[in-house]
Amino acid sequence: GNQKATHLDSFQGKKSQHAEEAIFYMNCRAAYLTVLKSSLENIKSKEQLSLVLQQAGRNPSQKTINKYWTSQTTSLNFDDFCAILKKEKPATKNELLEAFGKIDRDKTGYILHDELCKILTTRGDKMTWEEVSSITKQADFNCNGKLDYNKFCELYLTTREQCCKAARARLDSDPRLRQQHFGNQSGNSSEGITLPGSKPSPRVSRKTDHKLAKGDSRALSRPSSAQSSKASTSTTVSVGASSSSRNTKLIIEPDTMKDWQCAQCKGCFYLEEEGEIISHKYRLHLPQRSAVCVTIKPFRIPQAEGKSCHWLSVDTALFILKESETQENLQLVSFTELQNEEMFGWRGELGAGVYWLLPFTTGCRLRKVKTQITGEAKLVWRDEDGELALTEEFRAALLDIFETIDLDGNGLLSLEEYNFFELRTSGEKCDQEAWAVCKENFEMKKNELTRQGFLDLNLMEANDQDGDPWDLWVTLLSLGYNKALEMTEACPFVIGICAERCKPRIKAISLEAGVSQLSRAVCRSVVDKGEAKVLDGSENIFIYTYRSGSRITSVIENKSENKVIIHVNNEQSKNCLNNRGLTVFAVEVAPKSMMVSQHVMALNEQEEWIYSCVHSLV
């Protein structure tokens, strides 16, 4: 009986949670559709963003708007809007009263109009005198030249609630709006790939901080897109606990490869402010045809032993492309689909020539996460003689960085390796003349910078700023570190190449986003290896699903002459997280093109996870 009661309580808890989520998303849509015609229409300006947030009961400051609309932002979609609302909670009455209480130090419950006007017109998002006067003229909460801020807060909250109710009522009364889908997840990582017209055979976002459904049932969550769709298809994949890392063992037996010639090179995935992931790209040269083994895995920094290494759980992959006459037409050869714990690999035979190696991560685990940091780490200090020195914590972080940017692992930084560091942290390169100056002032060996030279170079930068750590923090943040000196928004990796009959040569060529070549390779790999399903009721829309080790990727192909909008519903998935961060979303697929729908991984690999997805034509 107690067990039944526990199960009932758990069910009721899930039911309540799902109901709350359904209400949240309906309110999001109501506010969004008050300003925009469709939930597939994007927010195009700061003014529109401010307006839709106000319709959702928020009162965003200019600082808040600037946080989500940066100099690189051109538009925000409905999914972005939902993510913002989850982060920016509406102010409560206690919070409002606390803010007014800081002005009313005598706790009288009133603030003089003159004092209020002075504060509102000179601090924060400054108001005009006319705007302040419109508040102080309201008889409901004004009393003899003073503002009764208790009444003002009550009126503000009532007005906000009425605004939200009016938007919801409009949505409920309009069947056309009620039937619209929930959003349009489009972004750099979900780039649509146009198909060649001569091939008739069937055949990547902004991230937010929310996870896929973890419950067994989502009947009370947002309504399934299949209810109002023209055509749909569903896919379910169950994966046992921890089986993802045992899926297909990558066996590299020392006795069979002991005479093979090997090369390796390090690199790093960096998470950009807008959620885009950039990484090093490589060129591989094979002098002759040979059996080859290619591997990639997160790099375990020697000095980081015992520290929290967030990046070790990030999934990695490597796509091998054959160089042709034009770099625009790189041909996918294969990719690392074999897995042994955190290592992914591929074994096969490659002909002589030049190949491109494009590192890839889904973004499921390398993503923006808000963490509470109690205090900012100290980077420099002054000794008893007043001389600046690096703190032990900062020295340790710099040595970790050195290991990461020392791509060939020889314990020294060449000018090329140092320039990747400079491009990432300052956007500029160091030329030969500047490198010669470095050689005169900092320890070098064989014209390459030593660890001590790298530490001294950063100390010089601190001295140049007279101990102000601002520039040092710019460097650290651009390399994925937070203010506690933890690397949380980067994932260093190491690539290994072994060849049976020749010496492979690998070289880092650039540090940039994956762009279309990588998107095309990911789509092609899923189409070639995955299970294909035609969207029921639509002979020109195909959904491909492929499981590679610890991840599942789905690709949508639109063979029709018209663009289509596909609604993606993961409500029945269990213990999953995806690269888009939302349970339900929509994607727009251009005519004669294909694009990644989503990447999905286990939230907790120690437990069973179920990928259950419905793709529906809107």
Q: Which residues pair with 340 in a beta bridge?
A: 343
| Residue 242 per-residue DSSP state | T
CA distances (Å), origin 241, targets 180, 334, 575: 37, 28, 10
Q: How far apart, in whole angstroms, are the C-alpha atoms of residue 372 and residue 254?
A: 45
CA atoms within 13 A on the CB side of 290: 21
**Over the stretch 210-224, which tens digit does the pLDDT of each residue have?**
333 333 322 223 333
Instruction: Give the residue-averaged pLDDT of 416-436.
Output: 92
Torsion sign (Cα): 69, 73, 76, 81: negative
Predicted pLDDT at 517: 86
Q: Where in the chain is the domain with CATH 1.10.238.10?
A: 93-177, 380-488
Predicted pLDDT at 457: 95
Calculate what percentage of the chain has a pLDDT beyond 70: 82
The single-letter code of the amino acid at 587 is: V
Backbone angles phi, psi at 88, to 5 degrees: -95, 90
- The crossing angle, in degrees rounded to 10, of helices 451-464 and 392-405 is 120
135: tokens are 């508040």
What is the widest separation between alpha-carbon atoms in the chain? 93
CA atoms within 13 A on the CB side of 590: 9
Q: Which residues pair with 263 in a beta bridge?
A: 497
Average pLDDT value over all residues in the chain: 82
Q: Where in the chain is the domain with CATH 2.60.120?
A: 254-263+270-367+498-518
Calculate what percentage of the chain has a pLDDT beyond 90: 43
| Residue 76 per-residue DSSP state | B
Q: How far apart, in whole angstroms, are the C-alpha atoms of residue 566 and residue 541?
A: 10
Chain centroid to Cα 559, Å, comes to 29
Q: How far apart, in whole angstroms, are the C-alpha atoms of residue 407 and residue 414?
A: 9
Predicted pLDDT at 141: 64
Residue 240 pLDDT > 50: yes
- 187-196, 210-219, 367-376, 469-478: least confidently modelled range: 210-219
88: tokens are 């920016």
**Over the stretch 118-131, which tens digit does the pLDDT of each residue have?**
777 776 667 777 77
Backbone angles phi, psi at 172, to 5 degrees: -65, -30
Alpha helices in 470-606 (DSSP H): 470-478, 515-529
Burial of 374 (0-12, 13-18, 19+ CB in 10 A): exposed
Predicted pLDDT at 304: 56
**Over the stretch 275-296, which tens digit does the pLDDT of each residue have?**
889 999 999 999 999 999 999 9
CB burial of 152-182 (b: ≥16 within 10 Å; e: otherwise) equals bbeebbeebeebbeebbeebeeeeebeebbb
Residue 33 pLDDT > 60: yes
**Over the stretch 146-177, which tens digit does the pLDDT of each residue have?**
888 888 888 888 888 887 888 777 777 765 45
Residue 208 pLDDT > 50: no
Q: Which CATH number fits domain 380-488: 3.90.550.10, 1.10.238.10, 1.10.4190.10, 1.10.760.10?
A: 1.10.238.10
Quote the strand ranges of 419-461, DSSP E.
444-445, 448-449
Predicted pLDDT at 193: 54
The single-letter code of the amino acid at 122 is: T
- pTM for the model: 0.65
Per-residue confidence band for 204, with pLDDT thresholds at 50, 70 and 90: very low
Predicted pLDDT at 1: 56
Q: Which CATH number fits domain 232-243+519-617: 3.10.20, 2.60.40, 1.20.58, 2.20.28?
A: 2.60.40
Q: Which residue has the higher pLDDT, 6 or 383?
A: 383
How many angstroms separate the first and last alpha carbons of the chain? Answer: 46
**Over the stretch 531-577, which tens digit does the pLDDT of each residue have?**
999 988 888 999 999 998 789 999 999 999 998 999 999 999 999 99
Predicted pLDDT at 159: 82
Residue 245 pLDDT > 50: no
SS3 content of the chain, % helix, strand, coil (to 5): 35, 25, 35
**Over the stretch 329-382, which tens digit does the pLDDT of each residue have?**
688 999 998 888 889 999 999 999 999 999 999 999 998 877 777 788 999 999
CATH architecture of the domain with residue range 93-177: Orthogonal Bundle (1.10)
CA-closest candidate to residue 275, choices 163, 215, 187: 187
Predicted pLDDT at 275: 80
Instruction: Give the residue-averaged pLDDT of 85-104.
Output: 85
The answer to whether the beta carbons of residues 164 and 145 sit under 8 Å apart is no
Per-residue confidence band for 307, with pLDDT thresholds at 50, 70 and 90: low
The answer to whether the beta carbons of residues 365 and 314 sit under 8 Å apart is yes
Q: How far apart, in whole angstroms, are the C-alpha atoms of residue 458 and residue 385?
A: 20
Instruction: Give the residue-averaged pLDDT of 194-220.
Output: 34
Per-residue confidence band for 495, with pLDDT thresholds at 50, 70 and 90: very high
Residue 199 pLDDT > 70: no
Predicted pLDDT at 229: 43
Say which CATH topology domain 4-87 has: Recoverin; domain 1 (1.10.238)
User: Does the domain at residues 254-263+270-367+498-518 carry the CATH identifier 3.40.1280?
Assistant: no
